[in-house]
Structure 1
């Protein structure tokens, strides 16, 4: 989970009255700090006050909704910029503090709902398939501030234990990473390889200036980098979803990447399919929204 942390400080300054005629009194500055953190998961924000001695909480979340809870949790209606404000009493004095909160792009995909129906609303980033698509029938992508989501639909059975090679040009720079020859247009910095439907992917980073050396991929030990979601098998077709943590894999926090997939028989004896087609450019996945 990617957290947004806001640290706010507002000083309430009370000025003592000025003296009369020739009698001038010094100004007295009484400062009251009101501090709170904001943790964001998707569109849901949790507010935690850090200042002691606070009472009479009045939250305005910046979207027309309010709360009087001490540490409220609030779900925003969607992507946008919001200005949450807290008015409270600190040590007997009324104080106000605000922050600017940006909610990033949201995704309809829920990885743990035992359904793939939420993918019906994902129509923008669909990898084009061609004559060499093989077992692939449909591959598409979505993302939010924390994750990249991948949906696959292919001919076969889950028990086929198909091996996947998922190539990622995480910086969208063909001058770094492996030049495969299979998928042009990118230099691939990350390779995810293994039987996806068994939730067994190896993670490899490219570690060479020689862009033609496949052996330069070095294995990485990264926990919680990906999760296999729902898998459905029916009528000789397998449908599945996978989620990749953007903060765990190098470069995935950027505004775009290139991606290509290859399906391989479980004994490595044959290539079963390509998305996009072999010999064509990898798919540019724009994450700038």
Structure 2
């Protein structure tokens, strides 16, 4: 009888131990892991986690950018490296997987197909009460070029432009542009027709900030590339690029303004706005 009792107790101990092991195994099966595919700024994440019931993604992009979807998409705001984390949860248990997501940005081509700008954020948009043909601008820099997309009213033609560029990111050097008292420092003046760039030129400023003294250093047809102006959804759009090498030793950022001129060389559009003491060039981080 005692021997049978010992067998029964031993059998129950085996069952209890096996159940405990199974439970431990189930708890240990929670695993968080993901992969991703980047297409410009848009990233598609694939969740390979196991044993999870809920998920939390932290994209480490803009404050509050997160998701609870199993396999989300996210539009990153800029190029760079982002430390993305996925927290997988099952009850009181969590497991976190973190990986660096590298965003190179879109493959911009100056070809009149503006779809490659879809996820590039506007660098500047003029206020509604500011008139003129030019309304908004986007920009994206690569290792070789600085690309721009300009949106305007259907009156925007850009048959003649002046583009002011502070290439050294120092408003105290270069020509002081009176329309932008809050900060200018024009190191380069780009002047000519965007629609027929064969005779447009880039001029480098010489002398003191108040001196109107410039020397031609490059031409539109060798160091710039323009698409045609096209009407899309009730607004005119053009894209163009400037070779970085044409602007000397640029550092970190440039500042700029763009002006459309009519046949009499009078401004009919500009970005950014002028007309107030704080008006200054737009800054583009490179």
TM-score by length of structure 2 reads 0.57
1:173-252 to structure 2, matched below 5 A, reads 173-184=170-181, 185-200=183-198, 201-209=200-208, 211-214=209-212, 216-222=213-219, 224-229=222-227, 231-234=229-232, 237-252=235-250
- Cα distance between partner residues in 2 of 1:157 and 1:134: 9
Q: Deviations over 1:215-259 (max 9, x none)?
A: x0222235631111353235763211001111232133x210111
Gapped runs of 5+ residues in structure 1?
1-77, 81-103
Asked whether the 8 Å contact 1:190–1:204 carries over to 2, the reply is: yes
Asked whether the 8 Å contact 2:124–2:282 carries over to 1, the reply is: yes
Match of 2:267 among 268, 271, 279: 271
Of the structure 1 ranges 128-137 and 188-197, higher mean CA displacement relative to structure 2 is found in 128-137
1:163 corresponding residue in structure 2: 160
Query: In 2 relative to 1, CA 181–198 (structure 1 residues): closer, same or farther, beyond 3 Å?
Result: same
Q: Deviations over 1:59-91 (max 9, x none)?
A: xxxxxxxxxxxxxxxxxxx967xxxxxxxxxxx
Gapped runs of 5+ residues in structure 2?
1-78, 82-101
- Cα distance between partner residues in 2 of 1:157 and 1:262: 14
- Cα distance between partner residues in 2 of 1:225 and 1:258: 19
SS at match of 1:284: strand
When the two chains are superposed, the root-mean-square deviation of aligned CA atoms in Å is: 2.7
| Larger CA Rg, structure 1 vs 2 | 2
Asked whether the 8 Å contact 1:224–1:245 carries over to 2, the reply is: no
Match of 1:137 among 135, 147, 157: 135
1:149 corresponding residue in structure 2: 147
- Aligned pairs, number: 182
Q: Deviations over 1:13-37 (max 9, x none)?
A: xxxxxxxxxxxxxxxxxxxxxxxxx
2:31 corresponding residue in structure 1: none
2:253 corresponding residue in structure 1: 256
**What is the Cα deviation at residue 179 of structure 1?**
0.4
TM-score by length of structure 1 reads 0.56
Query: In 2 relative to 1, CA 221–129 (structure 1 residues): closer, same or farther, beyond 3 Å?
Result: same
Asked whether the 8 Å contact 1:170–1:257 carries over to 2, the reply is: yes
Asked whether the 8 Å contact 2:165–2:255 carries over to 1, the reply is: yes
Q: Is residue 126 from structure 1 mapped to residue 128 from structure 2 by the alignment? A: no
Of the structure 1 ranges 144-153 and 230-239, higher mean CA displacement relative to structure 2 is found in 230-239
- Cα distance between partner residues in 1 of 2:272 and 2:218: 28
The structure in which a higher percent of residues are helix is 2
Q: Deviations over 1:71-119 (max 9, x none)?
A: xxxxxxx967xxxxxxxxxxxxxxxxxxxxxxx9734143245410111
- Cα distance between partner residues in 1 of 2:264 and 2:284: 31
Deviation beyond 4 Å, 4+ runs, structure 1: none
